[in-house]
Structures are given as structure tokens and as C-alpha cells.
Amino acid sequence: MPFDKATAIAHTQFFIDEINDRLSRFSPIVLVGGTAVSIYAYFRIRTILRRSDRPVHQRLMGYFVSLARYLPSVENKIQKQFEGIRGEIVESIHKYDQDRIFIRELLNTQLSPEDVIQKASEYESMGTFDVNGGRVSGTVYTDRDQKHIDFLSEIFKKYAYSNPLHPDVFPGVRKMEAEVVRMAANLFHGPPEACGTVSSGGTESIMLACFAYRNRAYAKGITEPVMIIPVTAHAAFDKAAFMMNIRVKHIPVDCNNRVNLKAMRSAISSDTCMIVGSAPNFPTGTIDDIAQISNLGLRYKVPVHVDACLGGFLIPFMEEAGFPLSLFDFRLPGVTSISCDTHKYGYAPKGTSVILYRSPEYLHDQYFAVTDWTGGIYATPTLAGSRSGLAIALTWGTMMYFGRNVYVSRTRAIVDSARELAKQIATIPGLEIYGTPEVSVVAFRSKEFNIYAVADKMNHLGWNLNTLQHPDSIHFCMTFNQARGEVITAFIADLRKACEEVNEMPNKGGASKTAAIYGTAALIPDRSLVSSMTHVFLDACYSMPEKLNH
């Protein structure tokens, strides 16, 4: 039928009349009310849908479970289950404590320093893992070289009570912080205007970057900013997103464990406040394709954060150590910020990290000021108010104490050992390397037996490894403590033995402790239940249970 304009208009007119006719049967109150309710419902549903990027069916399922928890019978059952788990968890937390005598009240009288130190030594000896012997993955990144510790003690004496919140009182610590930032910026080839701050750790550095980019997005009129991160990005991003009311889109990874760039590109929208790549990521030690992520940032004009918290003091030295990498730093023009942890491979004691920006325009979005506070005009560069000048001084001191050459030679030892470890793990029947171990982390899994059972067995043999999930896997993070032949040889021998034993177990190890925990967690549709399980664990850390009478 040829298009007839007159007929079309007549049809449209008829349609409009029909709607008018039907609507006029409702009173205006109903019309206005109905519209309001619909709009409210639309925004409610939109908000709920946007709250997380987990699949809708999973969230619906979780929603129903959480509704069911309002039923006393269901909630009682859940609590009973938790009680059972709680006892076990409390025992596992306190198993290192032989006497379980707790100090609950501030002592009325002084204890002699000798007595306090005696107690501190007793507490220290509760730990059973041989950290110095290299039995613990990650965690302590340097060896406990006595000369270094003695040196740090001297710094401690001078800076224990310093606080950079008062740069006039502690000008030395202020200078140290500026120097730590500049040294780090230069390691990452920051331009002259590159800048940043020292923070209390990787999590704070990441929070600060997210805070800056969220503020930047708000200033541009983005009311609901979204961050785009690989599923392998550190949990600190989710924590920051939650605290700062940023929506998160998690992007899947390819088979090599690098973020899928196509998926990342199509996730970018006008609401995007930042995109993230890890160099390397925590789970498998894989470096995302930072060059391509930088390109996306440039193309869509969104800031790019590179999380180098873990490897920040390895990757800048790798080329010199004989392990060249693709570019990952400010040499890529789209990279706007980098987080790197001085308290990991920077070998400083815990409590410091550096957040770097390409230029002050980003850093300024991290600063916070209260201009009309009755306590005076108040401005801080980081999340904290008062900060530990000591942590900064220990970091500065450590960087100066070692210097570039030691960082390079330690990097060579660590990366060399990690690659050797990966090579040998790949020869163990049933195991396969997971991800692309380029730096210091080696992740592995098994399609033949339960890898968590292997972790439990290794634990009994004195090794402390990290468990990963989605997929089931574990990793060993090589520190300078372990970068020696005898540790690798001992580890491989024990791992081989553990795998053989698990392979012989009923159910291929599926009933072991960690396997049971992750197995149960995977079966629970409501993540808030899993979350409650973590509360049981965290509560247990602060509990003071009676000694069990055996």
C-alpha cells in the first residue's frame, strides 16, 4: 500500500482521540498520582539495577533469600549454622595462643620495660610460620636483615612522634615526603609536573585516586559516576567505590588473565569517571595491556589509573634487571595516575604507599579543605588528618639505604626465582599455571583435583599460600625472603607431595577445610550470607575465648 499522508494523519488523530477519551475517564488526581508512582517505580528499579553489576537473576535470588531471613524459622536455622562455624573459626584464630590469658583492663601500675618487652616477645613467638625461612607467600617482602632493622631503629628514635600535618613543626618529614613522591614519580617516568602524596597503604592510595576522579566527574556534571575495572583488580577498588558512592563495572579477563579490551571499551559511557589496569594484578601477577587501556583513556577522554601497588618497586627495575616489559607508566600519555606500595617491594615497614598523578589538576581533586571550620581553615592532602611522620621517615630511609642498585639486584633475584618456580610448578602432574606470571606472583590450579586441598596440605607442611577464586586456584607471591634456590627446591618437593596425596584422597580433596568453605560459599545464592560469614571471622579476631579443657 502506498504511503498516504492523509490516512496516516487520520489514523494518528484517531489514536490520540482514543487515548484522550480513555484518560478522561480517570480523574486528574489519579492521572497525576499514577504518573508519580510510575516515575518513582521507574527510578527505584533503575537504582536497584544500577547498584551493582552482578547478574539480575543472582541478585533476585539473593533478594528472596534475604526476604526469607525475616522468617524467624529461617533466621534461626542460619544462626545455628553460624554458631557451628563460629566455634571452629574462633578455635582456628586462637590456636596459636597457648595460655589465653588476656589483658582486659589498663594496668593500674607501671610494668617495667623489661617485663613489657618480655611479654611482647612471648606474643611474637605465638606465630608458627617460618617467615624468615621463606615459608610465607607475600606478606613480608624483605628479609629481616638485622643491619636494616638496626638502621630503622635509629630513624625511629628521631621521627617516632613526628606528624606531617604540622609541616612548620616537622619540616624534615615534610621534605622527606616530597622526596619520596618525586623519587617514585621519576621511577615511573613522570613529567616534571608529576606529583602525588604518600598514603598509609595501597588501599588508601587507591581510595585517593577514586576520590579524585569521582570529584572530577562531579565537577563535570556526571551525577552517577562509574568506574571500569578488570575483575582481577584489587578489592580496594570495590571498597573505594562503596565508600565514595561510585558505581562499578567489572570487566572480564581473557584466557591470559588480561582484561578484555573490547569489553572494556564497550563499557565506557558518558558516566565513566575512570578506567583501571593492574601492573601486575594480585591474583595471578599478570600485567594488563596498559598501552591499550591508555589509548582508551585518550580516545574517550577518561582518566586511567594503573594499580602498581604490588609490583611498583619491581617493574621499574625489570628492564635493567634483564626482564624487559611493555610500557606501563607515564610514558603512555593516557596514564593519569599510578599507585605503588613502598611497604611491599619498596621494603619499608607497613604503613606507606605512594599515589602519583601526571599533573596537579588531578591531585587537586584529591585535596580536601574545610574553609569555615571553627578550628581554623583546614586542608589535608590525604584521607587522614594527623599522619605518621615515622612511616614516611622509615620509607624515605629505606629507599636511601638500599638505593637503585640494590632494588635492581633484588628485582633480578625475585623475578628470576618466580619464573623458575613457575617452570617447575608446570612440571607437577595435575597442575597448570594460571595467568601470565611476569613479575613475582605465580598462580596455579588443577583440573584433576581440588587445589584448595593442596593449599591445606601445604599449610600443614608449614607453607602459607594465598587462595583465589573464580576459578579455584592458589598463588605463591615471591618475596626477597624466598628468592633463593633452597626455598624453591623445598617448596616444589612439598607441593609435589601434596598434589600426589590430594589426588589419592576421596573426592579428590573436595572435603578439605578450605575446599568446604569455598564450596559452601559458591552454593549460597545470597552474598550477604557469605558476607555475614566474614563477620564471624573478623569478630573472632577480637574475641577472648576461654581455654579449651582437653
Ligand X SMILES: *Cc1c(COP(=O)(O)O)cnc(C)c1O
Binding site for ligand X (CB under 6 A): 201-203, 206, 234, 236, 278, 281-282, 307, 309-310, 341, 353
CB of 282 to ligand X, least distance (A): 4
CB of 76 to ligand X, least distance (A): 37
Q: Which of 236/268 has CB closer to ligand X? A: 236
Q: Which of 284/336 has CB closer to ligand X? A: 284
Q: How far is CA 156 from the centre of its chain?
A: 29
Cell numbers placing 542: 577480637
CB of 278 to ligand X, least distance (A): 5
CB of 202 to ligand X, least distance (A): 2
Residue 378, amino acid: Y
CB of 477 to ligand X, least distance (A): 8
Taking alpha carbons only, the member of 356, 248, 343, 334 closest to residue 288 is 334
Instruction: Give yes or no for a contact between 381 and 366, defined as CB atoms under 8 angstroms apart.
Output: yes
CB under 8 Å to 19, separation ≥6 — which residues? none
CB of 307 to ligand X, least distance (A): 5
CB of 146 to ligand X, least distance (A): 25
Phi and psi at 520, nearest 5°, equal: -65, -45
Cell numbers placing 472: 579455584
Q: Which of 177/526 has CB closer to ligand X? A: 177
CB of 306 to ligand X, least distance (A): 10
Taking alpha carbons only, the member of 250, 363, 362, 232 closest to residue 302 is 362
Q: Which of 439/498 has CB closer to ligand X? A: 439
Q: Which of 209/498 has CB closer to ligand X? A: 209
Please write down the long-range contacts of 404-410, taking CB distance under 8 Å and 24 or more positions apart: 404/317, 407/313, 407/317, 408/317, 408/320, 408/321, 409/321, 410/345, 410/347, 410/480, 410/483
CB under 8 Å to 141, separation ≥6 — which residues? 343, 344, 345, 347, 479, 480, 481
Strand partners, 199: 353
Q: Which of 268/306 has CB closer to ligand X? A: 306
Q: Which of 353/388 has CB closer to ligand X? A: 353
Report d(CA 150, CA 163) in Å as an integer.
22
Cell numbers placing 313: 618497586
CB of 176 to ligand X, least distance (A): 20
Q: Which of 313/402 has CB closer to ligand X? A: 313
Give the residue nearest to ligand X (CB): 202
Q: What CA dihedral angle connects 95, 101, 104 and 107, to 10 degrees?
A: -140
Q: Where are the alpha helices (DSSP H) in 95-235?
A: 113-124, 146-159, 171-187, 202-219
Taking alpha carbons only, the member of 549, 421, 531, 413 closest to residue 481 is 413
CB of 355 to ligand X, least distance (A): 11
Q: Which of 236/458 has CB closer to ligand X? A: 236
Q: Which of 163/281 has CB closer to ligand X? A: 281
Instruction: Give yes or no for a contact between 129 and 462, defined as CB atoms under 8 angstroms apart.
Output: yes
